[in-house]
């Protein structure tokens, strides 16, 4: 470490130690230390130069340093007055006596006080300007960093928007290309099943083909719906409908697709009449029922419950299956796309369906939640606002 670095480190250490002391004691201590240092220096000089000493300049230097290291004007002016009296008393003839009788002494003292006060004022002003410059530099640096951060966020948003646009276009194109052949496969399987001219083994295989094709058709429809909703190309066409009728249609659709399943419809005592897009809400209910049938492991105990809670029309789907994993519950609560959180083939379709449900309910200004029932099984719940429709 060089000598300058050592002095710099020593200065920084002293500066930190001094600023641990409260302002008033620190200012008084600095003033006393520099006045004592000026007195000792002048005492050494007078021993070598006699009457021709520069003690006044030494005290002026002390005043400058005191003005730099203290706050305000008071301590510098006080030091200039004390320095003038010390110079007259200790370092002017007659020594150790205060005298203004000699020619030039009063003028010298007044000049010293005036010069010290002017220097003190200028030093304090320079110090204030330096502090203001530091403050402006910090403000400019903060504004620059904020601007850089905003630019980075803007770039990230633009990239994310571009990625979402590309992804939506790809999904839309692929979905359109897949929907027609899948419909043909499902229709052909239905024709073969109804012909009655195939073996039992082939009948089971055709049934699997039809179910898989129907499942893929639903997934394609969900992909198209979610891309249109998120892109804003599917505007809501709300109208006043009874939620009971929409739920009934959803149950009938589900029973046609899954004849071996049992779905119990539990209607509300109140009439749930509200503004909504009926086809989209039906799609939400069908998705939830199909998720319960396909992924719960129990097709016999699925309940669709409708009820009113304050100003919300609430739809609840319960099953008695294996329940939901913590990852799915957390993703639903946070609103993240579920298809990114799940990796298994059996649950990926579930994630896409739930993402569609989330998007549709969000577009209706509703809420969507998921969890596990204490009795076992999963519970999916969503609510639609009913502010404009009083309870009847």
pLDDT at 119: 76
CA distances from 270 to 84, 246, 265, 273, 384 (A): 96, 15, 15, 9, 15
- 250: domain CATH number is 3.30.565.10
Tell me whether residue 198 is in a domain: no
pLDDT at 105: 66
Give 139's pLDDT tier (boundaries 50, 70, 90).
very high
Give 15's pLDDT tier (boundaries 50, 70, 90).
low
Domain boundary among 133, 148, 163: 148
196-205, 227-236, 361-370: segment of lowest average pLDDT: 227-236
Contacts of 323 (CB under 8 A, 6+ apart): 372, 373, 376, 377, 378
Same domain, 240 and 380: yes
pLDDT at 317: 93
Angle, nearest 10°, between helix axes 23-49 and 55-69?
Answer: 160
Tell me whether residue 179 is in a domain: no
Tell me whether residue 141 is in a domain: yes
pLDDT at 18: 66
Q: State the total domains in the chain.
A: 2
Same domain, 137 and 251: no
Q: Which among 29, 75, 35 is positioned nearest to 55, based on CA atoms?
A: 35
pLDDT per position as a tens digit, 110-130: 877 787 778 777 877 887 888
Q: Which among 319, 317, 341 is positioned nearest to 328, based on CA atoms?
A: 341
Same domain, 35 and 136: yes
pLDDT per position as a tens digit, 341-358: 443 444 444 556 787 788
Same domain, 373 and 244: yes
pLDDT at 392: 44
Domain boundary among 148, 177, 194: 148
Same domain, 140 and 241: no
Tell me whether residue 324 is in a domain: yes
Per the document, the length of the chain is: 392
The two tokens of residue 103 are 């020619």
pLDDT at 100: 67
Tell me whether residue 130 is in a domain: yes
User: 367-372 and 378-385 as β-strands: parallel, antiparallel, unpaired?
Assistant: antiparallel
CA distances from 82 to 29, 109, 110, 195, 259 (A): 15, 11, 12, 119, 105
The average pLDDT across 256-276 equals 87
Same domain, 256 and 359: yes
pLDDT per position as a tens digit, 163-198: 877 777 777 777 777 777 888 888 888 888 787 777
- Residue 60 belongs to domain spanning: 3-148
Same domain, 262 and 374: yes
Tell me whether residue 220 is in a domain: no
Domain boundary among 112, 132, 148: 148
Same domain, 19 and 142: yes
Same domain, 15 and 112: yes
The chain-wide mean pLDDT, for the chain, equals: 80
In which order are the strands placed within the sheet that holds 263-266?
263-266, 302-309, 312-318, 378-385, 367-372
Tell me whether residue 244 is in a domain: yes
Same domain, 120 and 240: no
User: 378-385 and 312-318 as β-strands: parallel, antiparallel, unpaired?
Assistant: antiparallel
Tell me whether residue 103 is in a domain: yes
The average pLDDT across 59-83 equals 81
């Amino acid at each position: 470490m060089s000598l300058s670095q050592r002095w710099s480190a020593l200065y920084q250490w002293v500066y930190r130690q001094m600023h641990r002391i409260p302002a008033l004691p620190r200012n008084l201590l600095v003033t006393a230390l520099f006045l004592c240092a000026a007195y000792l220096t002048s005492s050494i000089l007078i021993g070598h130069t006699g009457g021709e000493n520069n003690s006044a300049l030494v005290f002026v230097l002390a005043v400058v340093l005191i003005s730099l290291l203290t706050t305000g004007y008071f301590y510098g002016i006080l030091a200039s007055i004390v320095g003038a009296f010390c110079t007259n008393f200790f370092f002017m003839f007659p020594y150790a006596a205060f005298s203004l009788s000699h020619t030039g002494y009063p003028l010298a003292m007044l000049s010293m006080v005036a010069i010290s006060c002017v220097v003190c004022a200028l030093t304090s002003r320079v110090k204030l300007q330096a502090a203001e410059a530091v403050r402006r530099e910090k403000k400019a640096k903060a504004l620059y960093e904020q601007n850089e951060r905003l630019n980075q966020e803007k770039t990230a948003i633009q990239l994310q928007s571009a990625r979402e646009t590309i992804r939506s276009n790809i999904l839309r194109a692929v979905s359109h290309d897949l929907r027609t052949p899948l419909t043909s496969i499902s229709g052909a399987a239905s024709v073969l099943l109804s012909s009655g001219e195939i073996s039992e083994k082939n009948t089971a295989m055709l049934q699997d083909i039809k179910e898989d094709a129907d499942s893929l058709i639903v997934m394609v429809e969900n992909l198209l719906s979610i891309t249109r909703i998120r892109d804003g190309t599917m505007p809501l066409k709300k109208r006043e409908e009874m939620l009971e009728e929409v739920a009934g249609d959803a149950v009938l659709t589900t029973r046609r697709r899954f004849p071996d399943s049992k779905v119990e419809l539990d209607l509300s005592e109140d009439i749930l009449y509200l503004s909504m897009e009926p086809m989209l809400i039906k799609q939400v209910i069908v998705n939830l029922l199909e998720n319960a049938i396909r992924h719960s492991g129990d097709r016999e105990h699925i309940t669709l419950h409708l009820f009113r809670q304050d100003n919300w029309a609430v739809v609840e789907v319960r099953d008695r299956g294996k329940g939901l994993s913590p990852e799915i519950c957390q993703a639903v609560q946070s609103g993240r796309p579920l298809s990114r959180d799940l990796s298994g083939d059996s649950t990926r379709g579930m994630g896409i369906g739930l993402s569609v449900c989330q998007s549709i309910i969000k577009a209706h200004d509703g809420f969507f939640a998921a969890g596990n029932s204490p009795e076992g099984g999963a519970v999916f719940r969503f609510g639609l606002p009913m502010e404009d429709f009083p309870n009847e």
